[in-house]
Chains A and B, each alone.
Chain A
Amino acid sequence: MDRHDGFREFVLARRQSLTRTAYLLTGDAHLAEDLLQSVLINVVGQWPKLSANGNPEAYTRKALVNQYISWRRRLRREWPSADPPEHGVSYDEESVDRIVLRQALAKLTRKQRAVIVLRFWEDLTEAQTAEALGCSVGNVKSQTHRALARLRTLAPELTDSRSLSEFQEVAP
Chain B
Amino acid sequence: MTRLRRALSGIAEEAPAVDLNGLVDLAVAGHRRKRRASALLAAVATVATVAATGTVTAALVPSRSPQPAAPRQAEAVPDLPAGDVGPLDYAYETPCKVDGERRHLDCSVAGWRVVTHTGRTYRLRQALARTAQNNQAPIAISRDGRMLAYYSPQAQAHVVRDLVSGSQVTSPVRLKETRIGPGSMLVLSDDGRHLMFDPREGSKDPGLLIDMRTGKTVEVSGKYEAVSVRNGVAELVRYRKTDLWLMPVTGGSKPVRFKGTFMGFSELAPDGRTVAAFERNDDTMSDWVQEMRTLTLLDTRTGRERAKVPIRGLPKGQPVWITGLWRSGSELTVWIEEASTRAYRVDTRTGRARLLADHPKTRLVLPGLASS
Name A residues whose Cβ lies closer than 8 Å to a Cβ of B: 4, 7-8, 11-12, 15, 18-24, 27, 29-34, 36-38, 40-41, 43-45, 67, 70-77, 79-80, 83-84, 94, 97-98, 100-107, 116-117, 120-121, 151, 153-155, 158-159, 163-164, 166-167, 170
- Chain B nearest CB: distance from A76 CB in Å? 7
Contacts A4-B28, A40-B23 given: A30-B183 contact, CB under 8 Å? no
Nearest CB of B to A2, in Å = 8
Kindly state whether residue B210 has any CB partner on chain A within 8 Å: no
B263 touches A74 (CB 8 A): yes
Q: Are A77 and B31 in contact (CB under 8 A)?
A: no
Is the Cβ of A45 less than 8 Å from the Cβ of B31?
yes
| Further pairs besides A29-B16, A32-B15, A45-B34: 4, Cβ < 8 Å | A30-B53, A38-B134, A98-B11, A103-B285
User: Which of B61-69, B139-147, B287-295, B351-359 lines the interface with chain A?
Assistant: B287-295
Question: With a CB–CB cut-off of 8 A, which chain B residues contact A94?
Answer: 6-7, 10
| A101 lies within 8 A of B8 (CB) | yes
Interface string of B37-58 (1 = CB under 8 A from A): 0000000010101101111100
List A contacts of B319 (CB < 8 A): 79
A30 partner residues in chain B, CB cutoff 8 A: 49, 52-54
What CA separation (Å) do A20 and B321 show in the bound complex? 25
Give the Cβ gap from B93 to chain A, nearest Cβ, in Å: 13
Contact with A along B1-21 (1 / 0, CB 8 A): 111111111111111111011
The reply to whether B15 and A37 form a contact with Cβ atoms under 8 Å apart is no
**Distance A23 CA – B18 CA, assembled complex (angstroms):** 10
Which residue of B7, B225, B287 is within 8 Å of A84 (Cβ)? B287
Nearest CB on B from A8, distance (A): 5
State A44–B23 Cα separation when bound (angstroms): 11
Contacts of A43 in B (CB 8 A): 27
- Nearest A residue (CB) for B181: A70
Question: Is B202 an interface residue, CB under 8 A from the partner?
Answer: yes
Once the chains bind, are A34 and B12 in contact (CB under 8 Å)? Answer: no
Interface centre among B3, B53, B182, B200 (most CB of A within 10 A): B3
Are the CB atoms of A97 and B18 closer together than 8 Å? no
Whether the pair A36, B18 counts as a contact (CB closer than 8 A) is yes
Q: What are the residues of chain A within 8 A of B55 when measuring CB–CB?
A: 76-77
* In the assembled complex, B191 has its CB within 8 A of some CB on chain A: no
A72-B201 in contact given A7-B28, A40-B24, A98-B11 (Cβ < 8 Å): yes
Determine whether the beta carbon of B11 is less than 8 Å from that of A24.
yes
B372 touches A72 (CB 8 A): yes
Asked if residues B288 and A80 are in contact (CB atoms below 8 Å), the reply is: yes
Q: Do A32 and B18 contact each other (CB < 8 Å), given the known contacts A43-B27, A74-B202?
A: yes
CB distance from A94 to the nearest CB of B (A): 6
CA distance A13 to B223 in the complex (A): 40
Are A44 and B202 in contact, with the CB atoms below 8 A? Answer: no
| A34 CA / B337 CA spacing, docked (Å) | 18
CA distance A25 to B317 in the complex (A): 23
Tell me, rounded to whole Å, the shortest Cβ–Cβ distance linking B41 to chain A.
Answer: 10
How many angstroms between the C-alpha atoms of A27 and B282 in the bound complex? 17
Cα distance, A99 to B6, chains bound together (Å) = 12
CA distance in complex: A92, B243 (Å): 43
Which residues of chain A are within 8 angstroms of B49 by Cβ–Cβ distance? 30, 33-34, 37
